[in-house]
A and B are shown apart, each in its own frame.
Chain A
Amino acid sequence: NAGVTQTPKFQVLKTGQSMTLQCAQDMNHNSMYWYRQDPGMGLRLIYYSASEGTTDKGEVPNGYNVSRLNKREFSLRLESAAPSQTSVYFCASRNSNTGELFFGEGSRLTVL
């Protein structure tokens, strides 16, 4: 079982460039999430989607946009990347019955 799949795993951008992080889950979960993790810190919620067609801001949404393309896919877009967005990004989905979170392996983004 693939679970939660994120692409790309690594990316280097220049300031001002744009990019999209892709996330897909094959567990038929309704809720999906994007988090960022900076060195020595926990995970901070960027955006989440409770169900297909809905998205909500988390703790640190500025500078990001999201799209819940369908039930499987939830993408995160950086329109104009800044060095402060250098981080590891994690996508997750949540089992609606148990509430358990499942994570992808992470995407390491560096903005120069």
Chain B
Amino acid sequence: KQEVTQIPAALSVPEGENLVLNCSFTDSAIYNLQWFRQDPGKGLTSLLLIQSSQREQTSGRLNASLDKSSGRSTLYIAASQPGDSATYLCAVGWYSSASKIIFGSGTRLSIRP
């Protein structure tokens, strides 16, 4: 069964710290992986998309890496700010079911001023 796991469910860090969010998936034959941000009561904002052939993608203070062999992706946030407080979700698609996209349960991030 193809599954996506995000641990921890919640994380609180002081402003200015660099931090890493984790996304683990079963079945390493993924098609791609996408990271989203969701503010309370709002919709999803796409952050980064990594194709299976890529090792990482960067956008501003965000860097997402992909290690298919270990079934893991990490989202690195540099110099965290209170405005980064949100829930971060990862979504995975696999070659065996290329149109089926499964989400992790998310990590709720709180940045303390």
Residues of A participating in the B interface, judged by any CB pair closer than 8 Å? 31, 33, 35, 40-45, 48-50, 56, 58-59, 90, 92, 94, 98-106
Contact = CB atoms under 8 A, between A and B. Distances in A.
Interface residues of B, number: 22
Given A33-B101, A44-B103, A56-B99, 11 more contacts: A40-B108, A42-B104, A45-B100, A45-B102, A50-B98, A59-B102, A94-B101, A98-B51, A99-B93, A100-B46, A101-B34
A105 B100 contact: no
Contacts, number: 58
A99 B103 contact: no
Nearest to A49: B99
Contacts of A50: 98-99
B66 interface: no
Summarize A's interface: helix, strand, loop or mixed: strand
B102 A99 contact: no
Interface string B1-39: 000001000000000000000000000000110100000
A101 B36 CA distance: 10
Nearest to B102: A45
Contacts of A45: 100-103
Interface in B70-103: 89, 91, 93, 98-103
Contacts of B100: 45, 48, 56, 58
Contacts of B43: 90, 103-106
A31 B34 contact: no
B94 to A, nearest CB: 11
Nearest to B49: A100
A31 B99 CA distance: 7
Contacts of A98: 32, 49, 51
